[in-house]
Structure 1
Amino acid sequence: MEMGMGIPEFFRGRSVFITGGSGFMGKVLVEKLLRSCPDLDNIYVLMRPKRGQQVAGRYSDLLDCKIFEWLKENRKHQLNKIVAVAGDITKPGLGLSPEDQEMLVREVSVVFHAAATVKFDEVIRLSVALNLLGTKSLLQLCEKMDKLVSVVHVSTAYCNCNLNDDIYEKLYPAPADPEQVIQMVQLLDDHVLDCITPLLLKDRPNTYTFTKALAEHVVYEKSGRLPIAIFRPSIVTSAIEEPLPGWVDNLNGPTGVLAGVGKGVLRSVMCHRDAIADFIPVDRAINCMIAIAWATAVTRPNNIVIYNCTTGASSPLYWRDMEQFGLEFILKYPSREILWYPGGSFKSSPTLNDLHTLAVQTLPAYLHDGLSRLTGRKPIMVRIQEKLQKALETTQFFTTKDFKFRNDNVVELYKTLSPEDQKTFCFDLSNIDWRKYIETYVLGTRKFILKEDPATIPESRVNLKKMYVLHRGTQLLMFIFIFWGFLMRSSTARFTFYQMLSAVSKMMTALSKTFASVER
């Protein structure tokens, strides 16, 4: 293939197979391919029945997503190219029927493997099944594909989060032998696995980063026989431009923090302000993935290439910026129904964070639920706080450590694109206006997660002012209550206080006499 071939031209007449196509990144990938590579043949999306919903129902849900509205209005025929393939990433052979397997082997030439569990505290058995065994099964299928020219394996920049030095775009030693881990999971019962999981993880914080690191080695073993690349995004956040500015469909990571602060239920987060918050907007990440698939096919590198799709080295955003900009725009575009006036801060001290959480989140939650029970309403605040704290605990490792990712391969890849492809598939990581982006992120969280119409913002601002008065009034009452309690318990404090009042009274009397004499 010629290097001068553009990305849309490369995908012309080709069929693509995507795992994880119904997930956050997968949806954006499907939409982008259909919109910007209109001459591709088909997109086969692996789907499994979920919560009693069959594949046909999940396919309908995928098309109902707001990001496909432009295609429905302008290129509705493109949506017919999405083909749902029934399967299960955790089952042998991906759970494919013989007919579907034969179809994929015959038709597919580009594969994006994005299916994984992103639940940080997932049990080791399921994490291995999804992130490790699923990858093995997919690669076995890829080896049979007649037309295969490119495979992109989606990993994570944090699979080597145990390192304290710069993290390069290279394969690091595996934390364990992948095959031994698979055998262990297959032989041992759940109780034993839960007991030995901390020993397996060693210096990694969770099963997600552990199994993702192992999966990279499974991929590497096949790199001599398959045209494959590894894609490592950092913290994937809402869209910066496409398919809709601010679009996001889950509460994971920073999105949950923005939503919690915006509702007034989250006021303290354990985080080091001076560390880099390595966000990558989902549309930049997807554009990079598509370019990697193109580059892997047209350049046919001798060795596997790894891409750290990260922003810290090119355009760093710090957690202090996230704190400042986030609160600024949460107050500018307040949520319609807030439980308390938004506020709070990041804490670098665990003790201070625990005390602040107890005082302004946990205790008020119990008070709220107690009043709810007395008035016959459903108590929900304690449960919300428990979920918030559990989610924050799983991310604390990543918000209290400064990660330095090198992204030279991503930067060089962008330079190889034609001007047209750079515009259509932009993943320039050096020109992000983070303040403007956080504004878009806050608006996106409000619209797509909290389901609040932008037209309600003026009304919400009126409500916010009322909450501000209530917030300050409560603080004043608390101060008076504490101060009065202190006076009642200390005769010295009472004496000092009365002396101060007397001095102030005398001063005011003297000033009034002075003003009276001046007027005469």
Structure 2
Amino acid sequence: MVGTQTDSGNKMEVQNALPTLTTTTTSVADFYNGKTVFITGGTGFMGKVLLEKLLRSCSGVAAIYLLIRYKKGQNAHDRLQQLLSSPLFDILRKERPGDLSKVLPIEGDITQPNLAISVNDRVMLSRTVNVVFHSAATVKFDEKLKLSVTINMLGTQRLIELCKKMTNLEALIHVSTTYCNCDKTEIYEKIYNPSISPDQITSLVDTLDESLVDAMTPILVGKRPNTYTFTKALAESWLKENKGDLPLVIVRPSIVISSHGGPLKGWVDNWNGPTGIIAAAGKGVFRSMHCHPEKTADLVPVDLVINLMLAAGWKVGSCKTKEIPIYNCCTGQRKPISWRSFVELCFKYMRIYPFSDVTWYPSGTVTSSVALDTFNQYVLHWFPAYVIDAFTWICGGKPIMLKIQDKLQKASTCLDYFTTHEWVFDDTNVRQLGLSLSEADRREFNFDASQIDWDEFIKHYVLGIRRFIFKEDAATIPKARRSIAKLLWVYRITQFITVLTLWHFLTLRCAPLRQLWSNALKLLLHIARMLPIL
């Protein structure tokens, strides 16, 4: 578990604490009254929650522009309508449908020069935008370095060029990650200098062939586990040197999972991070995970991150500072939970509220032993997958289990670094920001991790996976419970037969065990004969 702060020799010092500022009289919601907001990454998981929260809790916002690219035959307007049809916006559609008209699409692409925004739109944004939220990024851990640099670094640079032309800009909120400096064990709310400069990396990626860049990636990334954390660190370093007078603030969330509060508890709409693994475990197709069970799982609900982002925008917009405020949005310091507890609670509620069409009884293990995990992978994952696919092929169906296991194995490997290491994230600035809010704002824009009840949260997390990932209605729960009760009997019988088979196999090859087995059987027979007499 993450250690608490102790004596002065080990105590985490505040190296980037915000200067003490006079608390503003304007509430967070009032700050956004009449403001025009521009959001990148608005179609992503966090972007949707940000958009909904802005509309619902900051009803005075004037307009919200979303940068949306053309994708799979859908233009920006089509994708916006699809986004607004999400269950996340049900309350707004029912109670204040007119507010949805404040959301307007801007055709563009974060990977292209000038963000591929038309000249007219760029001029309009430069004149009208007051607040910018930059959350667009590739969060794929195994992304090629060239594309990761293009999106996470060059995309940020292109946005900054646009922001410098915004004559009425009051706040710029850049979303990073607490893990951008994961090559260290104690991470403060400050920007660290990378071993190689952002401009050098940009030059390498621009000039070298992609195959050569791929070959050099492990050397360039160094002690970091992937290109995502590496390019996020480079983006922060570049911002420090090139932000100019922009009112910039950086928010660093840890591992973002489902919503903690309203409007929909447990809302989640993607398979990223641990969600895909937990969903597969609930279906019975994933049963072993390599991790250190007692290390802290620094998981943070998505709505806590969004509330912090909105409050950070209010703070930097209301109290000007030349420094770059950094906020580590995490839970490990204030409300830690171990990986073991997280997994056990997930299994607890996946048995109470089981998914439909479960392949096997939801159960599994987490282990820090590479050898044991490898053994489990073959026995519990690959062998059943081969058997099921062979049976499916014989019956004329399409085998898919091996493909599923391959994807799960890759996802598990990407998470491996984060489940076997532990960090201490300083969150002093987050605590100070919370203290500067009014009581009303602390309730409406809550980002206090200490208030999380993990048992209750994970219950809604599992129900959220069931409802929003698998699209299963709550009415199917009783039937799913009956199905899983039958699987439990099959599971127990299988365990009993397996133990007997292994024991019998061992006794055939070991004389002492064979004798012990023989004596045990004789004793059981003797007791059986005595029972009628008694």
The answer to whether TM tops 0.5 is yes
Distance in 1 between residues matched to 2:309 and 2:322, nearest whole Å: 19
Give the structure 2 partner of residue 51 of structure 1: 72
Matched, 1:141 2:162: yes
Distance in 2 between residues matched to 1:9 and 1:324, nearest whole Å: 42
Give the structure 1 partner of residue 60 of structure 2: 39
Query: How big is the shift at 1:101?
Result: 0.3
Distance in 2 between residues matched to 1:214 and 1:230, nearest whole Å: 13
Give the structure 2 partner of residue 405 of structure 1: 425
Give the structure 1 partner of residue 95 of structure 2: 74
> Out of 234, 258, 269, which is 1:249 matched to?
269
Distance in 2 between residues matched to 1:254 and 1:96, nearest whole Å: 35
CA contact (8 A) 1:235 1:279 kept: yes
AA aligned to 1:62 is: L
AA aligned to 1:4 is: T
Q: Deviations over 1:199-226 (max 9, x none)?
A: 1001010000000000001211233421
> Out of 138, 144, 163, which is 2:184 matched to?
163
SS of alignment partner, residue 229 of structure 1: strand
CA contact (8 A) 1:224 1:303 kept: no
Identity of aligned residues (%): 44
Distance in 1 between residues matched to 2:24 and 2:442, nearest whole Å: 15
CA contact (8 A) 1:28 1:243 kept: no
**Mean Cα deviation higher: 257-266 or 2-11:** 2-11
Distance in 2 between residues matched to 1:485 and 1:228, nearest whole Å: 67
Matched, 1:394 2:414: yes
Q: Deviations over 1:421-451 (max 9, x none)?
A: 1111111121111111111111111111111
Matched, 1:152 2:167: no
SS of alignment partner, residue 38 of structure 2: strand
CA contact (8 A) 2:23 2:436 kept: no
> Out of 302, 320, 324, which is 2:340 matched to?
320
Cα 1:474–1:299 shift into 2, 3 Å: same
Query: How big is the shift at 1:382?
Result: 0.7
Matched, 1:121 2:142: yes
Matched, 1:310 2:310: no
Matched, 1:99 2:99: no
Distance in 2 between residues matched to 1:216 and 1:512, nearest whole Å: 80
Matched, 1:172 2:196: no
Cα 1:494–1:231 shift into 2, 3 Å: closer
Query: How big is the shift at 1:495?
Result: 5.1
Distance in 2 between residues matched to 1:346 and 1:492, nearest whole Å: 33
Give the structure 2 partner of residue 198 of structure 1: 218
Task: Return the index of the structure with the highest Cα Rg.
Answer: 1
Give the structure 1 partner of residue 454 of structure 2: 434
**Mean Cα deviation higher: 195-204 or 466-475:** 466-475
Residue correspondences, number: 513
> Structure 2 matches for 1:356-435, cutoff 5 A?
356-435=376-455
> Structure 2 matches for 1:489-508, cutoff 5 A?
494=514, 496-508=516-528
SS of alignment partner, residue 151 of structure 1: strand
Give the structure 1 partner of residue 14 of structure 2: none
Give the structure 1 partner of residue 355 of structure 2: 335
AA aligned to 2:387 is: L
Query: How big is the shift at 1:476?
Result: 2.6
Give the structure 1 partner of residue 9 of structure 2: none
SS of alignment partner, residue 279 of structure 2: helix
Query: How big is the shift at 1:40?
Result: 1.0
Cα 1:374–1:296 shift into 2, 3 Å: same
Distance in 2 between residues matched to 1:34 and 1:98, nearest whole Å: 28
SS of alignment partner, residue 430 of structure 1: helix
Query: How big is the shift at 1:510?
Result: 4.7
Give the structure 2 partner of residue 518 of structure 1: none
SS of alignment partner, residue 245 of structure 1: coil
CA contact (8 A) 1:273 1:319 kept: yes
Q: Deviations over 1:376-423 (max 9, x none)?
A: 111111111100000010111001001110101011101111112111
Q: Structure 2: give runs of 5+ residues left out of the alignment.
A: 1-21
CA contact (8 A) 1:175 1:213 kept: no
Give the superposed CA RMSD: 1.6
> Out of 373, 385, 408, which is 1:353 matched to?
373
